[in-house]
Structure 1
């Protein structure tokens, strides 16, 4: 491997280097302080809607102590090659092929969101090629609510309802109830919404394929054995803190740290708190016992975290109507209600369609609803939050302090 030594953030927008493995194109950029560097490189694997330019600050900081490689596999980042036949496991194997072809020493992947699944699988399937592993936004996708939201997003895209898809995806990435705590500026939120709304046809197809890979993934039959650091945003309701903690508990040598004032995009929202942890971890130094902006979880806490990201209350007014797109409706009673979902009781048919539901409650705009479980306890459901005005009205009803209008816009 020959590294570039002239790094600047502007170079991240330049055409990448490309290698081919069995007909698949892998895009990368590689930087170091000297061309022939035998140290373990940091390997950046991003999530949906991220490109090399997303990591300008991280590359600049990491280069002080490490070579840095940014990698886009087929259908990832700026790599437009479609690969519907490849599963997550085959993509993880391509990372190993990349390392072999470029004769890299064992690498240190940083996997974020979608990239976390690829990085973790690479570490499991090719342990001799993985020195250390850092994950954030762990996408194991075993939680029924997360799967239903992902499936609904794909269905909306298939229906051509891209605006509703974008609104729901944005709510998954940025917790609208915690914008003041996470410090997400309205201008950033609106810019991200516009980016998702304006996905090209090719970008939409890549998103479909990547989401289908996650849904088809059967889960981890084994977990990483190398030193692993898992970072969880305390307000992440899409890949929740308890899921990060359970993943860390299953690893051989893992630490899990809760990042305060952060949600699914912890590494961007609380950059200093995250870098204060990954700098020593990647350099094989002990993690600080106390670090501003984060709390390490003790091993006995990993399987004890709360599995609900918000409190659910019995509303003062319980009566509501559940309506289906075919015209049928049922009188129901809400036993639990939160911004992200709830539970209701009613004389409902046992086999409910998966889509086409709306909840009519009090004086609120109708809320789109996705059924999860229907049993003796009633119907558990999640809100996909595909309508900004309806979401804002719901939030203002549930929480005493109204959210700013930008929260759900």
Structure 2
């Protein structure tokens, strides 16, 4: 492997190197302090809407101590090649083929969001090629509520309702209840919303394929064996802290840290807190037990984290109407109401369609909801937050309460 030694942030927008593996095309850039470097390289794998430029801070931070490789697999980042026939496992195998073709030493992948699933599968399926593994926003997608929201997003895109899709996706990535905590600037939220609203047909198809891969994924048959660090945003509702902790517990040599005052984009919202952990980890040094802005969880606590991210509250106005797009409506009683979902009781049909529902309650605008599950306690539901006005009104109603833990649908 020959690394570039003239790194500057502007180069991240340059045309990448291209490697063909069979019919598949991989894009990459590689940097180091010296052209030939036999040390284990850090491999950066981004999320659904990230490009190489998203990693400018990480490259600046890590280049002094490690060679760095940025990689876009088909349908990822700046790589526009579509690959509907490839599952997550096959994409992870392409990482191994990439490493083999370049005769790289064992890698140290950093996988963020969608990239975390690819990095974790690569480590699990090719243990001899992975030295250390760092994951944030781990997307295993076993939680029913998360899967339902992803399905709803795909349905909205299929119907051409990109604005509603964008609003719902934004609420998943940036927790509206904790914007003051996470410090996300309004201008950043608006820019991300515009990016989601302006997806081209090709970008919509890439998103559809990547989401379908996550939904089709049957789970990890085996977990990484190498030293692993899992970072969870304290307020991440999209991939919740307890899910990160459970994944870490299943790994042979994993530690899990909660990054305080952060949500799904922890590595961007709390860069220094994250860097204070991945610097020693990638350098094979012990993590600090106390570090500003984060908390490393004792291993005995990994399976005991609270599975609720907002309180289950009995609303002041319990009487409501549940209305379907067919024109029918039913009186219901709300037993729980939170920003992300709730529970109600009523004399409802035995079989409920999963789309087309609105909840009419109090002075709030109509709230779109998705039925989640039905049991002896009533109907549990989630809010997809596809309408900005209704979402904001509900946030204002629920935000004042101190959030100890939420109904994790």
> Please, what TM-score do these two structures have when normalized by structure 2?
0.97
The yes-or-no answer on 1:310 pairing with 2:310 is yes
Q: Secondary structure at the match of 2:303?
A: coil
Report the equivalent of 1:300: 300
Q: Distance in 1 between matches of 2:151 and 2:399?
A: 28
Q: Distance in 1 between matches of 2:123 and 2:328?
A: 50
Q: Deviations over 1:311-341 (max 9, x none)?
A: 1101111000001111111100000000000
Report the equivalent of 2:405: none
Report the equivalent of 1:34: 34
> Cα offset for 1:377?
1.2
> Cα offset for 1:400?
3.7
Q: Deviations over 1:15-39 (max 9, x none)?
A: 0000000110000000000111100
> Cα offset for 1:305?
0.5
Is this contact kept in 1: 2:176–2:395, CA < 8 A?
no
Q: Deviations over 1:141-187 (max 9, x none)?
A: 00000000000000000000000000000001000110000010000
The yes-or-no answer on 1:17 pairing with 2:14 is no
What pairs up with 1:248-327 in 2 under 5 angstroms?
A: 248-327=248-327
Q: Secondary structure at the match of 1:26?
A: strand
What pairs up with 1:159-238 in 2 under 5 angstroms?
A: 159-238=159-238
Q: Distance in 1 between matches of 2:380 and 2:186?
A: 32
Report the equivalent of 1:358: 358
Higher deviation after alignment, 228-237 or 194-203: 194-203
Q: Secondary structure at the match of 2:256?
A: strand
> Cα offset for 1:221?
1.2
Aligned residues: 401
Q: Distance in 1 between matches of 2:37 and 2:350?
A: 63
Q: Deviations over 1:39-95 (max 9, x none)?
A: 000000000110000000100111010000000000000000000000000000000
Q: Secondary structure at the match of 1:145?
A: helix
> Cα offset for 1:394?
1.1
Q: Distance in 1 between matches of 2:185 and 2:332?
A: 38
Q: Distance in 1 between matches of 2:394 and 2:366?
A: 10
Q: What CA RMSD, in Å, does the superposition of the two structures yield over aligned residues?
A: 0.7
Report the equivalent of 2:73: 73
Is this contact kept in 1: 2:120–2:224, CA < 8 A?
yes
Q: Distance in 2 between matches of 1:169 and 1:396?
A: 19
Q: Distance in 1 between matches of 2:318 and 2:65?
A: 58
> Cα offset for 1:397?
2.2
The yes-or-no answer on 1:381 pairing with 2:361 is no
> Cα offset for 1:264?
0.2
Q: Distance in 1 between matches of 2:192 and 2:61?
A: 24
> Cα offset for 1:218?
0.4
Is this contact kept in 2: 1:344–1:378, CA < 8 A?
yes
Q: Structure 2: which 5+ residue stretches go unaligned?
A: 402-409
Q: Distance in 1 between matches of 2:61 and 2:233?
A: 21
> Cα offset for 1:349?
1.2
Report the equivalent of 2:390: 390
Q: Deviations over 1:94-136 (max 9, x none)?
A: 0000000011000000000000000000000000000000000
Shift of the 125–391 alpha-carbon distance from structure 1 to 2, 3 Å rule, reads same
Q: Secondary structure at the match of 1:75?
A: coil
Q: Distance in 2 between matches of 1:98 and 1:400?
A: 50
Is this contact kept in 2: 1:350–1:374, CA < 8 A?
no
Is this contact kept in 1: 2:177–2:399, CA < 8 A?
no
Q: Secondary structure at the match of 1:309?
A: coil
Structure 1 residue runs of 4+, over 6 Å off?
none
Report the equivalent of 1:94: 94
Is this contact kept in 1: 2:368–2:384, CA < 8 A?
yes
Q: Secondary structure at the match of 2:247?
A: helix
Q: Distance in 1 between matches of 2:85 and 2:92?
A: 14
Q: Structure 1: which 5+ residue stretches go unaligned?
A: 402-409
Report the equivalent of 2:2: 2
Q: Secondary structure at the match of 1:333?
A: strand
Q: Distance in 2 between matches of 1:239 and 1:397?
A: 24
